[in-house]
């Protein structure tokens, strides 16, 4: 019995050892399979990455960011960004470019579809750039500076902007939407900063020269404007003096005529009637004179600093060219060079304006483009008929 028990115990131990060895081998085999799968997956990922990084280029490219963009280095050492839609066979690139005639660097963008097309073909799309020019797809069968020369042609378009933007197109089956505006351009900007000093120095010299020329031009224009204003002021003064002499002579002539009419009247009542008629005619002629002559004009009194055509407050000048004092005028104004028959805004100016004098009133108006006009709408004289005491 004891020998049988010992033999049974040995058999069980042997079986357990065999099961353990089998399990251990199984774990090793499974681990090996997992390791091989992982290695294959890693190699496949590396292959896919390598294929994308070398697709249609011999430039050195690395992954950039997490949106599928690549940072590449051209033959001359300049960096650029690119993105590939491998299955759709479309590529886009972006690079920082500069020119002495620009005030700052700009962003170059290009889009390429690897398709079979005839060289010289141009397809004008229904899309437009910001300057209004149409987006045109052009067939290139001679290779591009950003793509390896191959036997395959590509349909492409490119543009330059002052700020970061996206490459977007959807026309006739040619679609692309690469979000460059969200990408980091730091490597490109660093390269540009380190390798663009000559252009920066030339640009600085150009801008300083342009600033001096602009300042000289502004000073010249200011002198010419001042000379013109002084000339116009002298001409206006001479005109006013001439008109004043003519008006004085006319008033003296009319006074003599009135004296003759009054002398011819027989009774006091007739004299008052004639005097009233003469007064009404004089009053009517005075009103007509105010409307016929340039009796109202304006001038900017408070200019907005830094803006030559912007004004916050205006002077309204009223020139009383008549023999009667004025007590009230109605002046219309609009944001036009010439006022309409019924201006949109009306100012009532109450002031005692003696004959042959100019009254200035300040009116708050904000005008941003220099287009402003004034127009006399009505005038009320401080005149009352005084009859003879009969």
Vertex 159: Cα angle to 154 and 164 (nearest 5) = 120
Q: What is the pLDDT of residue 148?
A: 77
| Residue appearing with tokens 């492409």 | 156
Q: What is the pLDDT of residue 3?
A: 54
Q: What is the pLDDT of residue 71?
A: 95
In the three-class reduction of DSSP (H, G, I as helix; E, B as strand; rest coil), residue 13 is classed as helix
Q: Are 153 and 141 in contact (CB under 8 A)?
A: yes
Q: What is the pLDDT of residue 251?
A: 80
Q: What is the pLDDT of residue 10?
A: 61
Neighbours of 323 (CB within 10 A): 20
- The whole model's pTM is what? 0.51
DSSP bridge partners of 111 = 92, 157
DSSP bridge partners of 102 = none
Neighbours of 124 (CB within 10 A): 10
Vertex 184: Cα angle to 45 and 56 (nearest 5) = 45
- The per-residue pLDDT string of the chain (390 residues; one tens digit each, 9 = 90 and over) reads 555 555 566 667 767 777 777 777 778 888 778 877 777 777 766 767 778 888 888 889 999 988 889 999 998 899 999 999 988 999 999 999 999 889 899 999 999 999 988 888 998 888 877 777 788 999 988 877 788 766 678 899 999 999 999 999 888 889 999 999 999 999 999 999 999 888 888 888 888 898 898 888 988 888 888 888 788 888 888 887 888 888 888 888 887 877 777 676 667 777 788 888 889 988 999 999 898 767 899 989 888 887 878 898 999 999 998 999 999 999 999 988 888 989 989 999 999 999 989 999 999 999 888 789 999 999 999 999 888 876
Rg (CA), the chain: 46
| Residue appearing with tokens 């000379």 | 227
**141 backbone dihedrals φ, ψ, rounded to 5°:** -110, 15
């Amino acid at each position: 019995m004891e020998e049988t028990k010992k033999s049974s115990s040995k058999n069980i131990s042997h079986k357990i050892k065999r099961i353990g060895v089998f399990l251990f081998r199984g774990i090793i085999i499974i681990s090996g399979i997992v390791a091989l799968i992982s290695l294959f997956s890693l190699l496949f990922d590396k292959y896919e990455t390598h294929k994308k990084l070398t697709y249609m280029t011999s430039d050195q490219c690395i992954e950039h960011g997490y949106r599928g963009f690549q940072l590449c280095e051209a033959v001359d050492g300049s960096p650029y960004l690119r993105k590939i839609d491998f299955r759709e066979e479309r590529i886009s690139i972006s690079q920082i470019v500069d020119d002495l005639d620009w005030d700052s660097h700009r962003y170059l963008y290009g889009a390429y579809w690897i398709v079979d097309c005839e060289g010289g073909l141009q397809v004008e799309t229904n899309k437009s750039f910001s300057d209004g020019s149409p987006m045109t797809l052009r067939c290139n069968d001679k290779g591009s500076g950003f793509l390896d020369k191959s036997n395959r042609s590509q349909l492409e378009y490119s543009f330059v902007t002052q700020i970061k933007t996206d490459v977007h197109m959807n026309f006739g089956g040619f679609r692309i939407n690469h979000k460059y505006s969200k990408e980091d351009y730091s490597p490109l900007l660093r390269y540009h900063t380190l390798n663009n000093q000559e252009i920066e120095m030339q640009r600085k010299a150009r801008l300083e020269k342009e600033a001096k020329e602009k300042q000289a031009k502004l000073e010249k224009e200011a002198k010419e404007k001042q000379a013109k204003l002084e000339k116009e002021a002298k001409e206006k003064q001479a005109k006013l003096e001439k008109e004043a002499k003519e008006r004085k002579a006319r008033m003296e002539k009319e006074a003599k005529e009135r004296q003759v009419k009054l002398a011819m009247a027989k009774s006091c009542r007739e004299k008052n009637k004639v005097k009233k008629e003469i007064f009404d005619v004089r009053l009517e002629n005075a009103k007509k004179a105010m409307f016929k002559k340039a009796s109202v004009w304006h001038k900017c009194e408070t200019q907005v600093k830094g803006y030559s055509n912007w004004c916050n407050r205006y002077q309204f000048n009223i020139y009383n060219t008549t023999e009667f004092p004025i007590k009230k005028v109605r002046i219309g104004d609009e944001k036009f060079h010439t006022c309409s028959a019924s201006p949109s805004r009306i100012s009532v100016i109450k002031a005692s304006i003696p004959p042959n004098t100019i009254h200035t009133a300040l009116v708050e108006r904000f005008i941003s483009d220099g287009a402003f006009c004034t127009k006399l709408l009505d005038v009320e004289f401080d005149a009352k008929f005084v009859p003879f005491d009969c």
